[in-house]
Structures are given as C-alpha cells and as structure tokens.
Homo-oligomer: A and B are copies of this chain.
C-alpha cells in the first residue's frame, strides 16, 4: 500500500475515492472524555468497584484477553445475534492483531495453508506472510464465494500433502469487492466447512453499514458447530483511533497433555508475546461508546450509516449518469459498505492512477493491489466513506474524463 499512500500524499487536493477510513464528519474529541467518564461510572456505579479499583482498571496492564469482554459479548448479542461466551473473546489491537494471532496459531508447520476469497484484504495476506503461512485463493464468483472452487482448492491442497486450516472471508460488503453472501450461500458454506473440517475466519468490519436492505445473519450467528472464528473490528463502528478489535474463538483445542481448552486461550498465550495486552484506556473508550448506546453500535452509527448509504446511492447515480448501461464501463451494486468495483475496457494500473491523480485530480485504488487474477487488471475500487456527495459527483466526472481521454 506504500505506493497508494505516496500518491495520496503527493496529490492532497485530489478527490479521495480511494481512502478506506471511516467518515470524519462526526468526530469530536469531547466524545473521548465522555466515553471514558461513562466507563468509569460503569465500573463504580454498575459494577460496584471502589475508586481505587476503577483507577487500577484504567491504569494497570489488565487481563491479556482484555477487560471489556463482557461488553463485547453484549454488543454481539445486541447487534449480531451472536451468543458468545465472554471467555471466548480476546480483545486485540485492532482486527489486524486478531488476524495475526489466529494465523500464527493455525501455522504449526510448513504443511499448513490458509485459504482466502480473492480479492483479499491486504491485512490478511500481510499477516499470513509474516507467519510464513501460504495463502491459496478461492474465487469469489457472483455469490461472494465460489463454493465449488473452494472445495477444489481444498482438494488440490490436500493432494499436495498440505493442510488447509481455514478460509478467510468478509461475508458482508467485502473490502475490496463490495460483495455480500446471500443467506443460502452462508448456510452452504457452513455445511462445506463442517464436511471438510475447515475453520471459517469471518471478518466483519462493515456489516452494520447496509444500504437499506435487511442485514443478513453473520456466519457466526448461524454457526452451531463452532466452525467460525469471528474477527471483529471497532475501527469503522467505534473509533479508528482506539485501535480496538477482537476475536471470538470458542473452538475447543486439545493440548499435548490431553487436556482441552478454548482456542481463545491459545490466542491469549500468543498475544502475551506480541503486545501483552490491549491498552485498557483504549478499551475504556470503546466501552464508553458501547455503554452510551445501550450496547448497540447499530444505534451509535445511525448518522454514519445514513451518510454511507446516501453516498453509495450518489456514487451509483453518478456512474449511471456518466456511463451508458450497455457501454464498456461496468460496475457492481453493493448492498452496503464503503466500496464498489468498476471494470474498465483497459488496464487500471498504477500508471493510470498516477495520471488520474496528476491530470484529473481523482484517486482510486487499482484492484491489482488486492489480487493478481487476470480480471483484476482492468478493475478499480471506489470508496465513499470520507467524501461528500459533491466530491463524489465531481470525482466521477473526473474519472469519466480520464476514461474518455483514454478511449479517445
């Protein structure tokens, strides 16, 4: 991503249809103080801690698995219909640390591999590289995951003597594709995971942000057989600056001595060697936001969700206004989230992005940065999370001008 950051830095005035960070519109530093006070009141008034104990909860190291696990579990029940034992929750430094810990735990020797639906979030491939765990990609197809291809990738890996340990995916408004799995695909995927003795690593940073339709149950909410390791992020729904994520890992693990334990406790052991624990002060900020909204981030994000929905609508309208339906420029229609994918009749590479930023003042992300399948060459990702509707209209106008130039 260095090239992308560099381009963005070089053309700060260009319209940022590339940025994946959440809206900054409603940020107010005062909220951080409010959240911290709210969590302090929770500790003293609701949990009955003395001032001294509350102070220790803020200041000392605290549990490796985190101190807001009960609130995370309440949040999952309220927003996702997930019943999680708080002991199966590990609070992490962003979702990235959760991914890193899970991949490190799954990597026992050079026969282990992880599968990932392509195009894949770069944080996953980065963490996998760091722990020497090869990634085998699975086609997304029109349903968000091609289950036949998944079965085939598993079969091929096993034929090579490898152990496919898990398949990583974002079932809701995926980054970068914008795709979501329908309900039938979710059930079929869970069945396949059971049949093939595979874990599913469900990453869900954008699930709340629907563009209007009903939210589908997460894989974890449908998971009756402990096949799903749920990777949670409060970066988009809480506050990016708190760097709080978590993982629900309720799988049973058999130890070398024959005893059993929770996968969450295995992850905690690894975490103690990476970051020891997650800042209790940062956890307190997220806890306060959760408490302020009765444990629901759906409620906490009503303004943001509406804004992303309007922006996505606006982007789709602008694309339809500039490019004829039967023309060479195509795009998908996500049901929510931050992203959609545009397919051009020519390559959408870093060189074109440079021209776009320099001569046309609009930034986007070449899909090549997410996967190297042939179809990615002509694709680009657009994001609506940190732009105004005026910027979206103008950004698409500039993109259309760039494309017209190329086609001329």
What residues of chain A have their CB less than 8 Å away from a CB belonging to chain B?
Answer: 1, 21, 24, 27-29, 32-33, 36, 40, 52, 54-56, 58-62, 93-94, 96-97, 100, 104, 123, 126-127, 129-130, 235, 239-244, 270, 272-282, 285
Q: How far apart are A400's CB and chain B's nearest CB, in angstroms?
A: 30
- The count of identical subunits is 2
Contacts of A239 in B (CB 8 A): 59, 281
**How far apart are A142's CB and chain B's nearest CB, in angstroms?**
31
Question: In the bound complex, do residue A56 and residue B36 qualify as a contact, i.e. CB atoms below 8 Å apart?
Answer: no
Instruction: Decide yes or no: A241 and B61 within 8 Å by CB, A100-B274, A276-B94 being known contacts.
Output: yes
Q: Are B243 and A278 in contact (CB under 8 A)?
A: yes
List 17 A–B pairs whose Cβ atoms lie within 8 Å, in order of A's numbering: A27-B58, A33-B33, A58-B241, A61-B241, A62-B241, A93-B93, A94-B276, A96-B273, A96-B275, A130-B273, A239-B281, A243-B278, A243-B280, A243-B282, A281-B282, A281-B285, A282-B282
Excluding A29-B54, A61-B240, 16 further A-B contacts by CB distance (< 8 Å) are A24-B52, A24-B55, A24-B56, A28-B55, A59-B241, A61-B243, A93-B275, A93-B279, A100-B273, A126-B272, A242-B279, A243-B275, A243-B277, A243-B280, A281-B281, A282-B282
Residues of B contacting A281 with CB < 8 Å?
A: 32, 239, 241-242, 281-282, 285
Q: A273-B129, A285-B281 are in contact. Are A240 and B60 (CB under 8 A)?
A: yes
Q: Is the interface of A mostly helix, strand, loop or mixed?
A: helix
CA distance A88 to B243 in the complex (A): 23
Instruction: Please give the distance in Å from A303's CB to the nearest CB on chain B.
Output: 15
Residues of B near A33 (CB, < 8 A) are: 33, 36
Interfacial chain B residues near A235, Cβ < 8 Å:
61
Tell me the complex Cα distance, A1–B110, Å.
29
> Hey, which chain B residues are within 8 Å of A285, CB to CB?
281
The answer to whether residues A59 and B240 also contact, given A36-B32, A273-B100, A279-B282 and a CB cut-off of 8 A, is yes
Query: Which of A54, A59, A280 gathers most chain B CB within 10 Å?
Result: A59
Chain B residues closer than 8 Å to A280, beta-carbon distance: 241, 243
Q: Across chains A and B, which 6 residue pairs bring their CB atoms closest together, nearest first?
A: A126-B273, A243-B279, A93-B275, A27-B55, A59-B241, A241-B280
User: Which partner residue on chain B sits nearest A101 by CB separation?
Assistant: B274
A33 to B34, CA, bound (A): 10
Q: How far is the CA of A127 from the CA of B274 in the complex (A)?
A: 7
Nearest Cβ on chain B to A273's Cβ, whole angstroms: 4
Closest beta carbon of chain B to A288's beta carbon, Å: 12
Chain B residues whose CB sits within 8 angstroms of the CB of A129 once the complex forms = 273
A1 to B269, CA, bound (A): 10
Query: Contact: B36 with A273, CB < 8 Å?
Result: no
Determine how close the nearest CB of chain B comes to the CB of A109; give it in whole angstroms: 11
